[in-house]
Copies of this chain bind each other. A is one copy, B any other.
């Protein structure tokens, strides 16, 4: 299991992931901010979480009309690179007053 074996930041090539993310951009943006309210923000998610979700979409464990099809075409390396890219984005939050 990726989630157990690997520590955050250990996987993938963020530069290759940034290039591959062209295919994600129409919904998630290059910066990982969802462009529609049904699309999650993924910028700054951990690489471990991102690898798990893409792997689950590819295996069918998690289902989504678009993501299930998109993930089918991803290699393990693609998944690790995409996870490296989106997890390399800095993420910060501010609580409402």
Contacts and interface: CB of A to CB of B under 8 A. Distances in A.
Contacts of A7: 37
Contacts of A49: 34, 37-40
Interface string A24-60: 0000001111100111110111111100100000000
Q: How many copies does the complex hold?
A: 2
26 contacts: A3-B37, A7-B37, A8-B37, A14-B96, A33-B93, A34-B45, A34-B46, A37-B47, A37-B48, A38-B52, A40-B46, A41-B41, A41-B44, A41-B45, A41-B93, A43-B93, A44-B93, A62-B62, A89-B93, A89-B95, A89-B96, A90-B93, A90-B95, A91-B92, A92-B92, A92-B94
